[in-house]
Structure 1
Protein backbone atom coordinates (compact mmCIF):
# COMPACT_ATOMS: atom_id res chain seq x y z
CA UNK A 1 0.00 0.00 0.00
CA UNK A 2 1.50 3.35 -1.02
CA UNK A 3 1.78 6.60 0.84
CA UNK A 4 -1.38 7.98 -0.76
CA UNK A 5 -3.56 5.45 1.07
CA UNK A 6 -1.78 5.50 4.42
CA UNK A 7 -3.38 7.47 7.24
CA UNK A 8 -1.22 10.16 8.75
CA UNK A 9 -0.11 10.12 12.36
CA UNK A 10 -1.30 12.76 14.82
CA UNK A 11 1.94 14.73 14.44
CA UNK A 12 1.94 14.57 10.64
CA UNK A 13 -1.69 15.67 10.69
CA UNK A 14 -0.75 18.60 12.91
CA UNK A 15 1.93 19.67 10.46
CA UNK A 16 -0.64 19.46 7.70
CA UNK A 17 -3.05 21.69 9.63
CA UNK A 18 -0.34 24.19 10.52
CA UNK A 19 0.79 24.50 6.93
CA UNK A 20 -2.82 24.93 5.85
CA UNK A 21 -3.10 27.86 8.25
CA UNK A 22 0.19 29.24 6.92
CA UNK A 23 -1.21 29.14 3.39
CA UNK A 24 -4.23 31.15 4.50
CA UNK A 25 -1.99 33.67 6.22
CA UNK A 26 0.23 33.90 3.13
CA UNK A 27 -2.65 35.35 1.13
CA UNK A 28 -3.03 38.07 3.76
CA UNK A 29 0.71 38.67 4.17
CA UNK A 30 1.18 39.28 0.46
CA UNK A 31 -1.15 42.28 0.29
CA UNK A 32 0.84 44.83 2.33
CA UNK A 33 4.08 43.72 0.74
CA UNK A 34 2.63 44.15 -2.75
CA UNK A 35 1.46 47.61 -1.72
CA UNK A 36 4.85 48.55 -0.27
CA UNK A 37 6.58 47.24 -3.38
CA UNK A 38 4.37 49.36 -5.63
CA UNK A 39 4.82 52.46 -3.47
CA UNK A 40 8.58 52.09 -3.17
CA UNK A 41 8.99 51.54 -6.92
CA UNK A 42 6.93 54.67 -7.51
CA UNK A 43 9.09 56.57 -5.04
CA UNK A 44 12.25 55.50 -6.86
CA UNK A 45 10.78 56.71 -10.15
CA UNK A 46 9.82 60.08 -8.65
CA UNK A 47 13.22 60.56 -7.03
CA UNK A 48 14.95 59.81 -10.31
CA UNK A 49 12.70 62.27 -12.13
CA UNK A 50 13.78 64.92 -9.62
CA UNK A 51 17.45 64.02 -10.09
CA UNK A 52 17.92 62.53 -6.61
CA UNK A 53 19.84 59.41 -7.60
CA UNK A 54 21.42 58.83 -4.19
CA UNK A 55 18.03 58.89 -2.49
CA UNK A 56 16.62 56.63 -5.22
CA UNK A 57 19.38 54.11 -4.54
CA UNK A 58 18.54 54.12 -0.85
CA UNK A 59 14.83 53.69 -1.56
CA UNK A 60 15.64 50.77 -3.86
CA UNK A 61 16.49 48.72 -0.76
CA UNK A 62 12.78 48.63 0.09
CA UNK A 63 11.97 47.47 -3.44
CA UNK A 64 14.50 44.64 -3.13
CA UNK A 65 13.23 43.67 0.33
CA UNK A 66 9.62 43.38 -0.79
CA UNK A 67 10.37 41.65 -4.10
CA UNK A 68 12.60 39.09 -2.41
CA UNK A 69 10.06 38.32 0.28
CA UNK A 70 7.24 37.96 -2.24
CA UNK A 71 9.34 35.51 -4.26
CA UNK A 72 10.19 33.64 -1.07
CA UNK A 73 6.46 33.46 -0.29
CA UNK A 74 5.93 31.76 -3.65
CA UNK A 75 8.49 29.10 -2.77
CA UNK A 76 7.05 28.64 0.72
CA UNK A 77 3.58 28.22 -0.77
CA UNK A 78 4.91 25.51 -3.05
CA UNK A 79 6.57 23.72 -0.12
CA UNK A 80 3.45 23.93 2.05
CA UNK A 81 1.31 22.45 -0.69
CA UNK A 82 3.84 19.69 -1.32
CA UNK A 83 3.99 18.66 2.34
CA UNK A 84 0.22 18.85 2.75
CA UNK A 85 -0.28 16.64 -0.28
CA UNK A 86 2.29 14.10 0.90
CA UNK A 87 1.86 14.43 4.67
CA UNK A 88 1.77 10.67 5.12
CA UNK A 89 5.38 10.44 3.99
CA UNK A 90 6.47 12.45 7.01
CA UNK A 91 5.79 9.43 9.20
CA UNK A 92 8.68 7.64 7.46
CA UNK A 93 11.24 10.41 6.87
CA UNK A 94 13.94 7.95 5.84
CA UNK A 95 11.80 7.01 2.85
CA UNK A 96 11.02 10.57 1.80
CA UNK A 97 12.19 11.55 -1.66
CA UNK A 98 14.35 14.60 -2.32
CA UNK A 99 11.35 16.79 -3.10
CA UNK A 100 9.76 16.18 0.29
CA UNK A 101 13.05 16.64 2.10
CA UNK A 102 13.67 19.90 0.25
CA UNK A 103 10.19 21.13 1.15
CA UNK A 104 10.67 20.20 4.81
CA UNK A 105 14.08 21.86 5.02
CA UNK A 106 12.79 24.94 3.20
CA UNK A 107 9.92 25.34 5.66
CA UNK A 108 12.31 24.88 8.57
CA UNK A 109 14.70 27.53 7.24
CA UNK A 110 11.92 29.98 6.38
CA UNK A 111 10.45 29.68 9.87
CA UNK A 112 13.34 31.72 11.27
CA UNK A 113 12.89 34.53 8.74
CA UNK A 114 9.13 34.89 8.28
CA UNK A 115 7.52 36.61 11.23
CA UNK A 116 4.42 36.94 9.04
CA UNK A 117 3.96 33.16 9.25
CA UNK A 118 4.20 32.07 12.91
CA UNK A 119 2.73 28.64 12.12
CA UNK A 120 6.01 27.72 10.46
CA UNK A 121 7.80 27.80 13.82
CA UNK A 122 5.45 25.17 15.25
CA UNK A 123 5.72 23.10 12.09
CA UNK A 124 9.52 23.33 12.31
CA UNK A 125 9.52 21.78 15.79
CA UNK A 126 7.51 18.79 14.60
CA UNK A 127 9.57 18.40 11.44
CA UNK A 128 12.78 18.52 13.50
CA UNK A 129 11.49 15.62 15.60
CA UNK A 130 10.63 13.71 12.44
CA UNK A 131 13.86 14.25 10.51
CA UNK A 132 16.37 14.42 13.37
CA UNK A 133 18.75 16.95 14.85
CA UNK A 134 21.37 16.87 12.07
CA UNK A 135 18.77 17.56 9.41
CA UNK A 136 17.18 20.30 11.55
CA UNK A 137 20.50 22.03 12.14
CA UNK A 138 21.39 22.01 8.45
CA UNK A 139 17.93 23.29 7.56
CA UNK A 140 18.04 26.15 10.06
CA UNK A 141 21.47 27.18 8.76
CA UNK A 142 20.31 27.07 5.15
CA UNK A 143 22.78 24.42 4.08
CA UNK A 144 22.55 20.93 2.59
CA UNK A 145 19.24 20.35 0.82
CA UNK A 146 17.73 23.85 1.36
CA UNK A 147 17.29 25.55 -2.02
CA UNK A 148 20.00 28.27 -2.31
CA UNK A 149 17.47 30.56 -3.98
CA UNK A 150 15.26 30.55 -0.89
CA UNK A 151 18.27 31.20 1.33
CA UNK A 152 19.30 34.17 -0.80
CA UNK A 153 15.80 35.63 -1.01
CA UNK A 154 15.40 35.56 2.75
CA UNK A 155 18.92 36.28 3.99
CA UNK A 156 20.79 37.87 1.07
CA UNK A 157 22.30 41.37 1.21
CA UNK A 158 19.62 43.80 0.08
CA UNK A 159 22.01 46.77 0.46
CA UNK A 160 24.48 45.59 -2.20
CA UNK A 161 25.24 48.61 -4.37
CA UNK A 162 25.46 46.65 -7.61
CA UNK A 163 22.02 45.19 -7.01
CA UNK A 164 20.53 48.54 -6.03
CA UNK A 165 21.90 50.14 -9.19
CA UNK A 166 20.37 47.42 -11.30
CA UNK A 167 16.95 47.89 -9.68
CA UNK A 168 17.15 51.67 -10.10
CA UNK A 169 18.21 51.34 -13.73
CA UNK A 170 15.32 48.95 -14.42
CA UNK A 171 12.85 51.44 -12.93
CA UNK A 172 14.48 54.26 -14.85
CA UNK A 173 14.03 52.38 -18.12
CA UNK A 174 10.36 51.73 -17.30
CA UNK A 175 9.86 55.46 -16.76
CA UNK A 176 12.04 56.64 -19.68
CA UNK A 177 14.46 58.38 -17.32
CA UNK A 178 18.17 58.65 -18.00
CA UNK A 179 20.51 57.85 -15.12
CA UNK A 180 24.21 58.54 -14.90
CA UNK A 181 25.38 55.21 -13.53
CA UNK A 182 28.28 53.53 -15.23
CA UNK A 183 27.33 50.34 -17.04
CA UNK A 184 27.50 47.36 -14.75
CA UNK A 185 30.03 44.76 -15.86
CA UNK A 186 28.73 41.35 -16.77
CA UNK A 187 25.79 39.89 -14.88
CA UNK A 188 24.44 41.71 -11.84
CA UNK A 189 23.92 40.21 -8.40
CA UNK A 190 20.20 39.77 -8.95
CA UNK A 191 20.82 37.95 -12.22
CA UNK A 192 23.31 35.65 -10.54
CA UNK A 193 20.79 34.84 -7.83
CA UNK A 194 18.24 33.93 -10.46
CA UNK A 195 20.71 31.52 -12.02
CA UNK A 196 21.33 29.55 -8.82
CA UNK A 197 20.50 25.94 -9.74
CA UNK A 198 17.14 24.74 -8.44
CA UNK A 199 16.52 21.18 -7.48
CA UNK A 200 12.87 21.63 -8.46
CA UNK A 201 11.66 24.41 -10.75
CA UNK A 202 8.14 25.59 -10.17
CA UNK A 203 5.56 27.41 -12.22
CA UNK A 204 3.96 30.33 -10.40
CA UNK A 205 0.92 30.17 -12.66
CA UNK A 206 -0.09 26.85 -11.17
CA UNK A 207 0.05 28.16 -7.62
CA UNK A 208 -2.86 30.60 -7.63
Structure 2
Protein backbone atom coordinates (compact mmCIF):
# COMPACT_ATOMS: atom_id res chain seq x y z
CA UNK A 1 0.00 0.00 0.00
CA UNK A 2 2.83 2.41 0.82
CA UNK A 3 4.36 1.83 -2.60
CA UNK A 4 1.30 3.21 -4.37
CA UNK A 5 1.16 6.30 -2.18
CA UNK A 6 4.80 7.10 -2.95
CA UNK A 7 4.18 6.74 -6.69
CA UNK A 8 1.32 9.17 -6.47
CA UNK A 9 3.35 11.71 -4.55
CA UNK A 10 6.17 11.42 -7.13
CA UNK A 11 3.67 12.15 -9.89
CA UNK A 12 2.26 15.01 -7.88
CA UNK A 13 5.69 16.55 -7.30
CA UNK A 14 6.48 16.12 -10.99
CA UNK A 15 3.28 17.93 -11.95
CA UNK A 16 4.22 20.73 -9.55
CA UNK A 17 7.68 21.04 -11.12
CA UNK A 18 6.20 21.07 -14.62
CA UNK A 19 3.70 23.77 -13.69
CA UNK A 20 6.44 25.90 -12.14
CA UNK A 21 8.49 25.50 -15.31
CA UNK A 22 5.43 26.44 -17.39
CA UNK A 23 5.01 29.56 -15.25
CA UNK A 24 8.56 30.67 -15.94
CA UNK A 25 8.15 29.91 -19.63
CA UNK A 26 4.91 31.93 -19.75
CA UNK A 27 6.81 35.17 -19.27
CA UNK A 28 9.06 34.25 -22.18
CA UNK A 29 6.08 33.27 -24.35
CA UNK A 30 4.39 36.62 -23.75
CA UNK A 31 7.23 38.79 -25.07
CA UNK A 32 7.00 38.02 -28.80
CA UNK A 33 3.20 38.11 -28.65
CA UNK A 34 3.25 41.55 -27.04
CA UNK A 35 5.69 42.75 -29.69
CA UNK A 36 3.57 41.36 -32.55
CA UNK A 37 0.44 42.92 -31.07
CA UNK A 38 2.14 46.31 -30.73
CA UNK A 39 3.44 46.19 -34.30
CA UNK A 40 0.04 45.11 -35.61
CA UNK A 41 -1.69 47.93 -33.71
CA UNK A 42 0.71 50.45 -35.25
CA UNK A 43 0.18 48.93 -38.69
CA UNK A 44 -3.59 49.18 -38.39
CA UNK A 45 -3.29 52.80 -37.29
CA UNK A 46 -1.05 53.63 -40.24
CA UNK A 47 -3.35 51.85 -42.69
CA UNK A 48 -6.35 53.77 -41.32
CA UNK A 49 -4.50 57.07 -41.69
CA UNK A 50 -3.70 56.19 -45.30
CA UNK A 51 -7.32 55.24 -45.94
CA UNK A 52 -6.68 51.54 -46.60
CA UNK A 53 -9.68 50.32 -44.64
CA UNK A 54 -9.85 46.88 -46.23
CA UNK A 55 -6.18 46.19 -45.47
CA UNK A 56 -6.58 47.54 -41.94
CA UNK A 57 -9.43 45.12 -41.28
CA UNK A 58 -7.33 42.21 -42.55
CA UNK A 59 -4.41 43.29 -40.35
CA UNK A 60 -6.67 43.55 -37.32
CA UNK A 61 -6.96 39.75 -37.36
CA UNK A 62 -3.38 39.61 -36.05
CA UNK A 63 -4.26 42.05 -33.26
CA UNK A 64 -7.26 39.92 -32.26
CA UNK A 65 -5.26 36.69 -32.41
CA UNK A 66 -2.42 38.03 -30.27
CA UNK A 67 -4.80 39.67 -27.80
CA UNK A 68 -6.77 36.42 -27.42
CA UNK A 69 -3.61 34.43 -26.86
CA UNK A 70 -2.29 36.91 -24.30
CA UNK A 71 -5.56 36.71 -22.37
CA UNK A 72 -5.47 32.92 -22.58
CA UNK A 73 -1.91 32.92 -21.23
CA UNK A 74 -3.12 35.03 -18.29
CA UNK A 75 -5.82 32.46 -17.55
CA UNK A 76 -3.31 29.61 -17.84
CA UNK A 77 -0.97 31.43 -15.46
CA UNK A 78 -3.75 31.74 -12.89
CA UNK A 79 -4.55 28.04 -13.25
CA UNK A 80 -0.90 27.05 -12.85
CA UNK A 81 -0.56 29.15 -9.71
CA UNK A 82 -3.78 27.75 -8.26
CA UNK A 83 -2.70 24.18 -8.95
CA UNK A 84 0.76 24.74 -7.46
CA UNK A 85 -0.82 26.10 -4.29
CA UNK A 86 -3.20 23.15 -3.98
CA UNK A 87 -0.96 20.39 -5.31
CA UNK A 88 -1.68 18.15 -2.31
CA UNK A 89 -5.28 17.77 -3.51
CA UNK A 90 -4.13 15.82 -6.58
CA UNK A 91 -3.67 12.72 -4.46
CA UNK A 92 -7.46 12.57 -4.00
CA UNK A 93 -8.91 13.95 -7.25
CA UNK A 94 -12.47 12.94 -6.33
CA UNK A 95 -12.25 15.16 -3.24
CA UNK A 96 -10.95 18.13 -5.23
CA UNK A 97 -12.98 21.32 -5.20
CA UNK A 98 -14.74 22.57 -8.32
CA UNK A 99 -12.11 25.31 -8.53
CA UNK A 100 -9.27 22.77 -8.75
CA UNK A 101 -11.14 20.62 -11.26
CA UNK A 102 -11.74 23.69 -13.41
CA UNK A 103 -8.04 24.59 -13.29
CA UNK A 104 -6.99 21.03 -14.16
CA UNK A 105 -9.48 20.92 -17.06
CA UNK A 106 -8.22 24.29 -18.30
CA UNK A 107 -4.60 23.12 -18.26
CA UNK A 108 -5.57 19.92 -20.08
CA UNK A 109 -7.43 21.87 -22.76
CA UNK A 110 -4.74 24.51 -23.18
CA UNK A 111 -1.96 21.94 -23.56
CA UNK A 112 -2.71 21.28 -27.22
CA UNK A 113 -3.12 24.96 -28.11
CA UNK A 114 0.07 26.24 -26.46
CA UNK A 115 3.08 24.99 -28.37
CA UNK A 116 5.17 27.51 -26.44
CA UNK A 117 4.52 25.52 -23.26
CA UNK A 118 5.49 21.87 -23.87
CA UNK A 119 5.41 21.21 -20.11
CA UNK A 120 1.63 21.37 -20.25
CA UNK A 121 1.50 18.28 -22.48
CA UNK A 122 3.47 16.22 -19.97
CA UNK A 123 1.46 17.65 -17.08
CA UNK A 124 -1.75 16.79 -18.96
CA UNK A 125 -0.71 13.15 -19.22
CA UNK A 126 0.13 12.97 -15.52
CA UNK A 127 -3.11 14.68 -14.56
CA UNK A 128 -5.04 12.36 -16.87
CA UNK A 129 -3.79 9.39 -14.82
CA UNK A 130 -5.12 11.04 -11.69
CA UNK A 131 -8.45 12.44 -12.89
CA UNK A 132 -9.54 9.63 -15.20
CA UNK A 133 -10.30 9.17 -18.87
CA UNK A 134 -13.82 10.68 -18.94
CA UNK A 135 -12.63 13.88 -17.26
CA UNK A 136 -9.62 14.04 -19.60
CA UNK A 137 -11.69 13.46 -22.74
CA UNK A 138 -14.11 16.23 -21.78
CA UNK A 139 -11.24 18.57 -20.92
CA UNK A 140 -9.47 17.93 -24.23
CA UNK A 141 -12.70 18.70 -26.12
CA UNK A 142 -13.22 21.91 -24.17
CA UNK A 143 -16.39 20.72 -22.47
CA UNK A 144 -17.20 19.85 -18.90
CA UNK A 145 -15.25 21.89 -16.38
CA UNK A 146 -13.27 23.92 -18.92
CA UNK A 147 -13.83 27.67 -18.70
CA UNK A 148 -15.76 28.75 -21.85
CA UNK A 149 -13.73 31.96 -21.97
CA UNK A 150 -10.50 29.97 -22.27
CA UNK A 151 -12.03 27.82 -25.02
CA UNK A 152 -13.17 30.90 -26.91
CA UNK A 153 -9.83 32.70 -26.53
CA UNK A 154 -7.83 29.72 -27.78
CA UNK A 155 -10.13 28.35 -30.46
CA UNK A 156 -12.56 31.18 -31.21
CA UNK A 157 -13.29 32.63 -34.61
CA UNK A 158 -10.74 35.36 -35.31
CA UNK A 159 -12.28 36.14 -38.69
CA UNK A 160 -15.65 37.36 -37.35
CA UNK A 161 -16.27 40.52 -39.36
CA UNK A 162 -18.24 42.28 -36.62
CA UNK A 163 -15.40 41.74 -34.16
CA UNK A 164 -12.83 42.97 -36.68
CA UNK A 165 -14.89 46.10 -37.37
CA UNK A 166 -15.29 46.80 -33.66
CA UNK A 167 -11.55 46.42 -32.97
CA UNK A 168 -10.71 48.58 -35.99
CA UNK A 169 -13.06 51.32 -34.78
CA UNK A 170 -11.56 51.11 -31.29
CA UNK A 171 -8.05 51.47 -32.69
CA UNK A 172 -9.14 54.47 -34.76
CA UNK A 173 -10.74 56.15 -31.76
CA UNK A 174 -7.75 55.35 -29.54
CA UNK A 175 -5.35 56.93 -32.04
CA UNK A 176 -7.61 59.95 -32.69
CA UNK A 177 -7.98 58.99 -36.33
CA UNK A 178 -10.94 60.66 -37.96
CA UNK A 179 -12.49 58.33 -40.40
CA UNK A 180 -15.80 57.62 -41.96
CA UNK A 181 -17.04 54.52 -40.14
CA UNK A 182 -19.44 53.92 -43.02
CA UNK A 183 -16.36 52.80 -44.96
CA UNK A 184 -16.23 49.77 -42.68
CA UNK A 185 -19.75 48.67 -43.58
**Residue 178 of structure 1, CA deviation:** 2.9
Compute the RMSD of aligned alpha carbons. Answer: 1.4
The reply to whether residue 124 of structure 1 matches residue 160 of structure 2 is no
Q: Provide the aligned length of Structure 1 versus Structure 2.
A: 177
Q: Tell me, in whole angstroms, the C-alpha distance in 1 between the residues paired with 2:183 and 2:150.
A: 28
Q: Tell me, in whole angstroms, the C-alpha distance in 1 between the residues paired with 2:58 and 2:183.
A: 19
**Residue 80 of structure 1, CA deviation:** 0.3
TM-score under structure 2 normalisation?
0.93
Q: Tell me, in whole angstroms, the C-alpha distance in 2 between the residues paired with 1:150 and 1:181.
A: 31
Q: Check conservation: 2:79, 2:106, Cα contact below 8 A.
A: yes
Q: Tell me, in whole angstroms, the C-alpha distance in 2 between the residues paired with 1:24 and 1:140.
A: 24
Q: Tell me, in whole angstroms, the C-alpha distance in 2 between the residues paired with 1:179 and 1:117.
A: 41
Cross-structure match for 1:194: none
Q: Find runs of 4+ consecutive structure 1 residues off by over 6 angstroms.
A: none
- Structure of greater Rg: 2
Cross-structure match for 2:18: 18
Instruction: Map residues 32-181 of structure 1 onto 2, 5 A cutoff.
Output: 32-181=32-181
Q: Check conservation: 2:48, 2:177, Cα contact below 8 A.
A: yes
**Residue 158 of structure 1, CA deviation:** 0.5
Q: Check conservation: 2:82, 2:103, Cα contact below 8 A.
A: yes
Cross-structure match for 1:202: none
Assess, with a 3 A threshold, how the Cα gap between structure 1 residues 183 and 86 changes in structure 2: closer, same or farther: farther
Structure 1 gap segments, 5+ residues each: 1-7, 185-208
Q: Check conservation: 2:53, 2:183, Cα contact below 8 A.
A: no
Assess, with a 3 A threshold, how the Cα gap between structure 1 residues 50 and 18 changes in structure 2: closer, same or farther: same
**Residue 180 of structure 1, CA deviation:** 3.2
**Residue 59 of structure 1, CA deviation:** 0.3
Q: Tell me, in whole angstroms, the C-alpha distance in 2 between the residues paired with 1:176 and 1:84.
A: 44
Once structures 1 and 2 are overlaid, which stretch shifts more, 175-184 or 143-152?
Answer: 175-184
SS at match of 1:117: coil
Structure 2 gap segments, 5+ residues each: 1-7
**Residue 179 of structure 1, CA deviation:** 3.3
Decide which structure has greater helix share: 2
